[in-house]
Amino acid sequence: MIILAVDPGTRRAGYSVVRSENGRIAVLEVETLVLSAQAPLAHRIHVFKKFFDAKMSEYLVEALALETPFLGKNAQNFLKLGYLRGILLMLSDIHAVPLYEYAPREIKLSVTGYGGADKEQVARVLSTMFPGLIAPRFLDATDALALALCCVWHLSF
């Protein structure tokens, strides 16, 4: 199964593509889509949609994984995140793939054994699990890889 996991953001969106086959996990790609902070929001959303639509076609994605949203301190950011989540929901329907959502604590717990782990701890564990993996520029990408692994492990049970 090929899974695309996305940690959406209006400036940076981490993503990871993994293949799970016969109990083995291969990381096909882990990176961050960087969107121009100066570009209008509508343009960034358009770029986001085109980019992930292309990734789903390129890898013949069979499942899409997202983190469940949580309302932080900024309601405007939460609303903007909702736009991107809507795009991903739409893409899962267009590509006829199931969408799985996991809570942040659940993702951290599955990867590090501790639901309160910070981003750096998650990244360290992933670099130990995949020693040949080049460290991504941003922690958004390692968050997406952790999400992909959480999805693989949940679907395996």
- Domains of the chain in start order, with CATH, are 2-156 (3.30.420.10)
CB 10 within 8 A of CB 43: no
Exactly one of 7, 62, 93, 101 is catalytic; name it.
7
Tokens 């593509």 map to which residue? 17
Q: What is the pLDDT of residue 61?
A: 98
Mean pLDDT, rounded, for 75-101: 92
Pairwise CA distance, residues 152 & 21, whole Å: 10
**pTM for the whole structure:** 0.92
Residue 71 has pLDDT above 70, yes or no: no
Mean pLDDT, rounded, for 8-20: 95
Q: 35-44, 65-74, 96-105, 109-118: which range is least confident on average?
A: 65-74
Full DSSP string of 99-112: EEEE-HHHHHHHHH
Pairwise CA distance, residues 17 & 30, whole Å: 6
- Asked about 118 being catalytic, the answer comes back as no
Non-local CB neighbours of 157 within 8 Å, separated by 6+ positions = none
The tokens for 37 are 């902070």
Exactly one of 29, 58, 67, 143 is catalytic; name it.
67
Pairwise CA distance, residues 134 & 74, whole Å: 33
Pairwise CA distance, residues 66 & 73, whole Å: 20
- Asked about 7 being catalytic, the answer comes back as yes
- Asked about 53 being catalytic, the answer comes back as no
* Number of residues that this document lists for the chain: 157
Exactly one of 31, 62, 120, 140 is catalytic; name it.
140
147 phi, psi to nearest 5 deg:
-60, -45
